Amino acid sequence: MTKDLEVRHCRALVAVHDKGGVGAAARALGVAQSTVSETLLSLERLLGTAVTLRRTGREAVLSAVAEALLPHARALIAASEAGLAAAMHPGKAVIRLGTVESISSFLLPGPLGDFRLSWPEVELRIAIGLCEDLRKRVARSELDMALTIEGADRAPDRQMVETFWPARLRLIVAPRHPLAGRVVGRHDVAARTCLLADPEGAFNDLVTAWVDNVGRPPRLESAGSIDGVKRGVLQSDAIGILPDYAVAQELATGSLIALETDAPLPPTALCLTTLAAPSSASSLESLIDKIRASLDWSDMTVAG
């Protein structure tokens, strides 16, 4: 009888890796720990070698063989879920797009609206996350594409297809802020509170590098969201750090002020990532074209 790698094997393997052990994997999957253990034993019989290793005082970890199998396991899970979705909704295609909050809120409504009018039979599923995690999910075939904002000097991932458009970071303050209307330097933000939307986003490292060697660095705090940054700036003397497209309306009306700096802030870029070039005339190619057109219409030029 032919022996095949099963989706249950893959789910157990991925859960043990992602959750750090068999017990945590069982809780994440909503099954008994004995079920996960039996599934791993079944996988070991199929492979003819151990898939987990036990270390003193620690939970089980994956063996080298299991680590090598991991990306294929993720791809099989994604293929299984896509197949089930297609079976449950015959003739209805699905595009899984990952992005960050600022892009989803301020750049995507237009092109996504146009796409839905052109492809009403295609379901769009939007996932919000951190840039690095979203790119990894594309690599694991969990997402069809990701639109993220990155440091402009990040090297493209040669295993995937990536296109970049320049973007710009802004330091924003309330109109009454003592720095408003001045040309500020790195030393002016030393020891001040700077608000970002996410505590683990790409902007943290960029700002930290920009203010390097200023003595007392600014205190970087998370406001939890784009709106949280804006409200925090209006209600305090904090400095907000946001991409220009997320604050364009407030800057135009003067409700918020962008600080002019004597040294440019770190360059950033929008990055569109896919695992491979989309098929010609496909719904995915159409979606990418509409997003690209909206960015080009916003006077953004392809950078690489």
Q: What is the pLDDT of residue 302?
A: 33
Determine contact, residues 139/132, Cβ cutoff 8 Å: no
Assigned token pair, 100: 């960050």
Buried b vs exposed e over 221-234: b needs ≥16 C-beta within 10 Å?
Answer: ebbeebeebbebbb
Average the pLDDT over each of 22-26, 98-102, 135-139, 203-207 and give the range with the smallest value: 203-207
Average the pLDDT over each of 6-15, 56-65, 125-134, 228-237 and give the range with the smallest value: 56-65
| Greatest mean pLDDT range, 64-68, 113-117, 150-154, 156-160 | 113-117
Mean pLDDT (whole number) for 190-198: 87
Q: Which domains, ranges and CATH numbers included, belong to the chain?
A: 7-87 (1.10.10.10), 91-167+269-297 (3.40.190.10), 169-266 (3.40.190.290)
Cα Rg of the chain, angstroms: 23
The string of DSSP codes covering 207-257 is HHHHTTTSSS--EEEE-SSHHHHHHHHHTSS-EEEEEGGGTHHHHHHTSSE
Mean pLDDT (whole number) for 253-275: 92
Mean pLDDT (whole number) for 156-170: 89
Helix 7-19 × helix 33-47 angle, to 10°:
120
How sure is the predictor about 298, in pLDDT bands with cuts at 50, 70 and 90?
very low
Q: What is the pLDDT of residue 55?
A: 65
Query: pLDDT by residue (tens digit) across 50-74?
Result: 998 876 556 778 888 888 888 888 8
